[in-house]
């Protein structure tokens, strides 16, 4: 079959992308012993953190901007297709149990809808209109942040999401793995983590996917730190929704306060199981309602609430 001009153009565009580059030195990889392939793959993966490190200033600037918006009640919304979209949904889904965020506070949109998490939805990534429709259904506001995620940096769904969000005054971030990407150009904050060609030509679920996961980890985790969702490196807003997390909650209170098991149980009972409140009860010597009042007045920041209470441990 003869290629149409449209597909010849797309092929040329793909060939210009670093993430799509062919590596002739790996053309016989299928002939190698399994251990040697594993070593090659591991060596490739080890280069990803260095590529992310080169973009830390841009990542930090984006995080500060996200935290400022979220402190005003805004949402963090990821938009992507395929692997990129799945990684956004994954990061969003882990925020409620980790940081006790509301389900609508961090949202993952994937081209093709929720079903695309497990089954490829052909053509969905090529439609910026689908992204616009999904964002409109969320009722996007200027306090929200939209993060377009695309390894190539050319996915119409991710670019469409960012362009539409920016036109509505929302904060926009474009995360890609190629320099000079259309996605980064469309966003207020462009983050281009260049990981180089993949072990398998064009398989961006590998290094590019790992890089995207690392950056999304930073975006959500450090934003939550800035919002007071942690006390030091303790997850004091953890939602104790199962036995493991209930045990973790008690361990967090113990690490933060040094209290006995009996004291911890009393504090958690007095605060309806809220870890942050229980820590404040123990460190500031206040009751449950006063702990809730202090935290509310401090915007949920435990250190600020401790300072307001006059607790000696407020700077620990």
- Residue 263 designated active-site: no
- Residue 94 designated active-site: yes
The alpha carbon of 177 is separated from its chain's Cα centroid by a whole number of angstroms, namely 16
Instruction: Give the C-alpha separation, 282 to 285, whole Å.
Output: 5
Residue tagged active-site, from 20, 44, 58, 125? 125
Contact 297, 305 (CB under 8 A): yes
* Residue 283: partners with Cβ closer than 8 Å, 6 or more residues away: 256, 257, 306, 311, 313, 314
- 88 torsion bin: left (phi>0), alpha (psi -120 to 50), beta (else): alpha
Residue tagged active-site, from 94, 263, 265, 290? 94
Both structure tokens of 304: 């600020």
Q: Which residues are catalytic?
A: 94, 125
């Amino acid at each position: 079959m003869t290629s149409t001009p449209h597909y010849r153009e797309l092929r040329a565009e793909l060939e210009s992308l670093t993430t799509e580059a062919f590596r002739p030195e790996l053309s016989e990889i299928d002939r190698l012993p399994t251990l040697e392939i594993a070593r090659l793959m591991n060596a490739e993966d080890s280069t990803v953190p260095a590529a992310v490190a080169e973009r830390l200033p841009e990542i930090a600037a984006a995080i500060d901007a996200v935290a400022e918006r979220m402190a005003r009640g805004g949402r963090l919304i990821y938009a992507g297709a395929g692997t990129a979209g799945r990684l956004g949904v994954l990061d969003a889904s882990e925020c409620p149990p980790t940081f006790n965020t509301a389900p609508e506070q961090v949202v993952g949109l994937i081209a093709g809808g929720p079903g695309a998490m497990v089954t490829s939805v052909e053509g969905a990534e090529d439609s910026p209109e689908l992204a616009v429709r999904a964002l409109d259904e969320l009722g996007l506001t200027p306090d929200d942040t939209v993060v377009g995620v695309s390894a190539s940096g050319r996915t119409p769904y991710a670019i469409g999401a960012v362009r539409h969000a920016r036109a509505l005054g929302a904060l926009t971030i474009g995360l890609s793995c190629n320099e000079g990407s259309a996605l980064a150009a469309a966003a207020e904050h462009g983050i281009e983590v260049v990981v180089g060609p993949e072990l398998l030509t064009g398989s961006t679920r590998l290094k590019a996917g790992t890089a995207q996961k690392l950056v999304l980890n930073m975006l959500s985790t450090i934003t939550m730190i800035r919002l007071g969702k942690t006390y030091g490196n303790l997850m004091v807003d953890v939602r104790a929704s199962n036995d493991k997390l209930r045990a973790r909650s008690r361990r967090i209170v113990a690490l933060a306060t040094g209290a006995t098991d009996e004291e911890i149980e009393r504090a958690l009972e007095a605060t309806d199981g809220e870890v942050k409140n229980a820590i404040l009860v123990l460190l500031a010597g206040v009751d449950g309602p006063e702990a809730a009042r202090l935290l509310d007045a401090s915007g949920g920041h435990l250190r600020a609430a401790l300072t307001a209470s006059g607790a000696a441990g407020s700077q620990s």
